[in-house]
Structure 1
């Protein structure tokens, strides 16, 4: 029975990953910031009838300090770095996001290296890959320019954290296999009320029929597909020292999502706004407003991306297409009264 550590088991992705690993028969240890997180994880997993709960253990550890990280890594063969060290809704200054992000991933990698962990799978972000290529096909060979106009604090922190991680593992004295998974906007079903930040796009769409939204093109992925890629990235020998874009095939726009919800979830029709902000207005606003600059970058970035590396090396096939991932997320928002 392979022994794994998942950092941040209370998160939208982390909890789904813990559940799948247990169902697959792994010995799973997960970190939480507080004791209450352990209670919540257990309650959710019991509610879903997860198998092998006796193989789950917990340890309190926070990415902001060294406490318990060596203990967390003890006897573990694989580590999934999923936890985020900061909550971005409250972050206004770059340094408040970037330093904890860099310190957090380096803390995990150093503890893993000192504990003879075989492989670390880092959950990075598509923002580290695809925000600077303007045409052609975006692949794992691409990197976002940290000076890209409109790059959000969140995306920049993810980019710099991944770059710092690669720099660390490429040192000759480090004996770690390393892989990154770089998801686009994560949708799909939630196990409880805790959803990903990407769900805010859907909440805005369903918040107020008089509200105008930017008609952004999006690449999306089902959380179950991200978990599938992460586990395959751990298990596949040829995955070491590679990056994997996690995305459904193709793309979908906010306007297409609005139409999808109206036609496929007719009871929500009265909540859906299909009023859009003209692109020219976002372009003008970008001169004066940082939020508009972020919107302009999202609007004009290249959305032709390749998920071929995950298919070729990991043998992965998407569970959900764009429409299925979106509708599953919408259903979760309804189920947990989040809209």
Structure 2
């Protein structure tokens, strides 16, 4: 507004730059509150009136229209600022509810469980979203550490609702059922009651044993095994099992398969948003080739490095949600007796 006033004073009354003073209250309504907008509008009038008198046009027809325009724009900007602030407060409340839902639906996983170190990475494809159609869970039960990672068909709130049903059923069944097929049956029965049409969930159920890990794969991408000696391989299922919600179309009794999982080994469970991510030329993300970055001493830092490499490959936001769960097996700490002596 100072630049407008100086330009008008130098140019004289013939060009008439004073109507541009309305830019002041207009921009004030974008970043400030109602009070600030009023003060900027009053400042615009305080600049306009002396300059009009200086130019000898005060209270003529054109100048009266300029004063009325500044006053009207200030009033409209006050209303716009009021509505913007109200919308911002509503958005803040919605975000607070969304964050609460995130903590309930996708709880933080434990970073340690027995001789396991666990790392997690979750990236939602939806702008500003914290949760989407991918799901994960890690629970420590009397039977051992049990895990779930899955991907709901579709996107949006409907996918989030399906993910909530799946996670709720798993959290109950993981403690009650003696084996992975029993958990799978509970998930299938729960989803059959709530899913409609041809909706389904691809998922992997896992349970960690002494020197092995059991996997029950329901149409999900196979986990990546990284041996302590540097070998990398995919833990392919022995037989194809349809996704949850469509299990009745497959074998009568889905059977888990066991994979060696000893000290120093790692297993990466992930959703198809990782391996189906494309670069500008349409090439898929080469997970097998890039898995070497997971060799760092800190599993979480290594997984974050892999996530950064994935985003760099895409060169922008992901087109699908991407969840990654990394388990690394360490040697068990030595047991101590009641006197604190290592045995």
Where on the TM-score scale, by shorter chain, does this alignment land: which range? under 0.3
Q: Structure 2 length as normaliser, TM-score?
A: 0.25
Q: Structure 1 length as normaliser, TM-score?
A: 0.25
Q: Which has the higher strand share?
A: 2
Could you say which structure has the larger radius of gyration? 2
